[in-house]
Structures are given as C-alpha cells and as structure tokens.
Amino acid sequence: MRTKLVDYIASHALFQPDKLALICQGQKLTYKELYNEISSYVLKLKAQGIAAGQTYLFKFHADVSCVVTYFALHQIGAIAVPLEKSLPDEKIGEYESRISNHGPFDETGLADILFTTGTTGQSKGVMISHDTILADAENLMIAQGFTSETVFLICGPLNHIGSLSKFYPTFMAGGTVMIIDGFKNQEDFYQALDYPSCKLATFLVPSSIRLLLLFSKDRLSQYKDKIDFIETGAAAISHADMMALCSILPHTRLYNTYASTETGIISTYNFNDGHCIPGCLGKPMKNSNIIITEKGTIACSGRTLMSGYVDLDMEVSRIGENVLVTSDLGYLDEDGMLHLTGREDDVINVGGLKVEPSEVEDVAMAIPGIKDCICIAVPHPIVGNTLKLLAVLEEGVELDKRKWARFLVKKLESYKVPLLYEQVDAIKRTFNGKLDRKAYRIKKERL
C-alpha cells in the first residue's frame, strides 16, 4: 500500500523505470535512477544517525541533491524541514530551537515542517502529514488533469507550498518534474518551455505572469499550442492580466487556485473558460470542503489540512476539531464557487510571499536612531504590493536606507526587507496606543 509520495516514485521505478522523473540543472533522472539515488541517500542519512520521527533542516536549493534529500527523509520516516535558500543563519538557529522545544513528534505520519509567515510577528512552523500530501496530490491530479505525460516546470522557491506542492501530483501521476533556479532569467524559462512535450505545465505567481506580460508577451504567445496548463495562486491576480493571458494562450487551461500551507490545496478555477470571472477560485476539490463563517472568513475542512503548528502554544483558529478558519475573507457564489475579497488581518502579500509587518517593525526598532516605525504596503507595478518603512528618527540621525536594509537582511528573509523608506514626524496610533494600521491602508487606497 502506498502511504507516502516516495512510495509512488518507488512504484514508477518498478513499472516505468525508464520514464523521465526529474530534469534539473542539466541532469536528467529516470524514475529508476531517482529511486536509486534516494535509496543510496537513505543509507547515508541513516549512517549520520537520522531516524524515523527526527527532524532534518536543509536549505532547498534548485538541485537534484535537495530533491533526493527530501524524499530520502520521507523514506526513512524522518521529518523534512526545507528552508528558503537565502534564510539567515540566525533564523535557522531559531527554527532549530523551536523544533526542539516541541519535544518528540507524536503526530501521526508527519512528513514536513514548512515555516511560513505567522500573524503574530513570528514565522509559523506548519506540520504536514504524508496523508495530507497525498490528498493534495489527488486534489490537483483530478482537478487539473495531471497525467504521466505531464512535464511540470517549477521555477519558484521549493520550501514554499506553491512550488513544493507540484511535486505531489506530478510524481503521483508518474509525470516529469523540471526545475529551474528561479525566474530572473526569462531565457531559462523559455528554454525549459522548448522541452519537446505538448503537455507542459507550470506554476507562476501573479508577479511572474506580470513580468512575462511586461517583457516578453510576444514570445510567450509562440507557446500557445504547447503549454497544457498554467496554475497561479498565492496572491491575487489582476483581471487585466487574467484577460491578457487568456488572449495570448487561448488553448491553455489557466487555473487560479486557493491554497495555503495550513489548509492545503483547496479549490481551483480555469479562468480560460470563456467567462474569466475576476477573483474566482472555483469549487472545492475532492478532498476539501469550504464554509464561510459569520464573520465572512473562509474556513476549510478535509484531508488536506495541516496537522498543527510546531509551537504548541501557537493558537489555531478552528471550528470544532476539523474545520480550520483562515484570515482570508470571501464568499461562495450561487454555483458554489469561492471568491476572495481580502484579508481580516494585517498580513501583506508581496509577490505571493506573506509578510507580517510587526515582524519587520520588531527588527527595525533595533536600528540605532529609530524611535518609532511602521511597515506598510504600497502599490508596486509588478508584485502588487511592496513594503515601505515609515520611521521617526532621533534628533540628529539621518535616514540611510541602504544601511538600514543591510541591517534588516541579517535578521529577516530578503523579501521581508522594505524597498522604500521615509522619515516621518510621527506614527499614527489608535486611542489606546496601538499602531493605527487602518489609517495607512486608507492612505494607500487613496494614492
């Protein structure tokens, strides 16, 4: 019985050993070769003392060895903790300590701990089980039509659910995963699309779609008969970009998906259906259910939910035992399709990556000369939102944005470091002294 994703790789290695499983950094591995690599690495990890139930932290670079490490850990029964490749060492130490504070992991069948942004200024360690991974895989396979012919191109960070979750249906179906190192070189992206397959698929966050539309629209249109489907998600895509993509790629299925690390992959909508409904995220998939709470927030249930947070005292908003309540606001239309309308909390979405502003402010307050500060979102032509730090300075101190940015990046992931800085006389606060974030949101809307 196959209870883990790696069991599917083992099965494909047996029944279709010469089928290509992985293309990455010039290397091509068949299922047989990939499974052999995983099996060899299992022995090495065991020799290092890694055993079932233990955690193993590693930076997930876009290379074969990291993919092999990930699945070897699963094979052993250990818990993979893939980290962002630019994560500062200080953060790694913090994560290690939080994991060790958890004590032995009794949760059933844990596969991964994924660190994501929390709403309390601290990244959340989300525990994911093997069953959740298989449920996500099945959801995507059925809803988006992954097959053994699918060649799925991953160009995003592999510690993030948006990219990592594409391993799930592709390897379950016996397809091919192709990985390129990021999206900054569009030439790499197009070279990958030149791969001889008519079942190419990829995941692009809305800001990557924006980049393609801005800088290589004509070139993208040359692939209109080649790209089987594109999935987007992690942030809201503008209706103008949805329409532009439909026009450039008229035969490609284009999915807008609702998912998060905590809820798993919940719903998806092919907006190239002739209607291109703005903000629509489709119907719940096979293993998921959606309800809207009285407050208007989206709540999810089903096998794709996380097992919990690694910090035992971190609050999980639930209804009963099995329904997880998110901070996303939305509604279900008369056809049962989900629509997203905003967020209930202060989290800022920067190109698909979520930033809790208080985490940035906590670090910024340690910069010498800053008396008070607030981190706000301002519109950006590519990523939708970018971060701006407004700061009140001590007398005689001057704003030095490059120095400040370099201070912040030592303690925060680079996407959490504001691009914009401004000196202000005072930070607006509410009557009880809390930062008046709503005042800055209103200001942003009026810009």
Partner 1 sequence: MKERIRFLLEDALPLVDFDTDFLFSELDSLGIASILMILSEEYHITLDGKDATPRNFKSLDSLVSMVQKKMSDNK
C-alpha–C-alpha distance, residues 382 and 442, integer Å: 21
Going by C-alpha positions, the residue among 229, 236, 274, 278 that lies closest to residue 254 is: 229
Using only C-alpha atoms, the chain has a radius of gyration, in whole angstroms, of: 22
What are the E-state strand segments in 121-220?
Answer: 124-129, 151-154, 176-179, 200-203
Least CB distance from residue 271 to partner 1, whole Å?
23
Q: Which is nearer to partner 1, 200 or 353 (CB)?
A: 353
CA atoms within 13 A on the CB side of 146: 27
C-alpha–C-alpha distance, residues 62 and 157, integer Å: 8
Q: Are 393 and 422 in contact (CB under 8 A)?
A: no
- From the number of C-beta atoms within 10 Å of its C-beta (0-12, 13-18, 19+), residue 290 rates as buried
Q: Which is nearer to partner 1, 219 or 286 (CB)?
A: 219
Least CB distance from residue 85 to partner 1, whole Å?
11
Least CB distance from residue 209 to partner 1, whole Å?
12
Least CB distance from residue 291 to partner 1, whole Å?
36
C-alpha–C-alpha distance, residues 18 and 60, integer Å: 26
Q: Which is nearer to partner 1, 19 or 380 (CB)?
A: 380
Q: Which is nearer to partner 1, 216 or 289 (CB)?
A: 216
Going by C-alpha positions, the residue among 69, 39, 88 that lies closest to residue 158 is: 69
3-class secondary structure, 391:
strand
Alpha helices in 269-395, H assignment, sequence order: 357-364
Q: Which is nearer to partner 1, 404 or 440 (CB)?
A: 404
Q: Which is nearer to partner 1, 160 or 339 (CB)?
A: 160
Phi and psi angles of residue 314, each rounded to the nearest 5 degrees, phi first: -75, 130
Least CB distance from residue 13 to partner 1, whole Å?
34
Least CB distance from residue 408 to partner 1, whole Å?
9
Least CB distance from residue 179 to partner 1, whole Å?
16
Q: Which is nearer to partner 1, 46 or 406 (CB)?
A: 406
Q: Which helix (H) or strand (E) holds 220?
A: helix 217-221
Least CB distance from residue 183 to partner 1, whole Å?
4
Q: Which is nearer to partner 1, 122 or 186 (CB)?
A: 186
Q: Which is nearer to partner 1, 219 or 444 (CB)?
A: 219
Least CB distance from residue 252 to partner 1, whole Å?
19
Long-range Cβ contacts of 328-334 (<8 Å, 24+ apart): 328/260, 328/297, 328/298, 329/296, 329/297, 329/298, 330/281, 330/292, 330/296, 330/297, 330/298, 331/292, 331/296, 332/290, 332/292, 333/280
Residues that bind partner 1 (CB under 8 A): 182-187, 207-208, 211-212, 214-216, 219, 351, 381-383, 401-402, 404-406, 409, 414, 417, 419, 421
Q: Are 204 and 212 in contact (CB under 8 A)?
A: yes
- Residue labelled with tokens 């001590």: 394
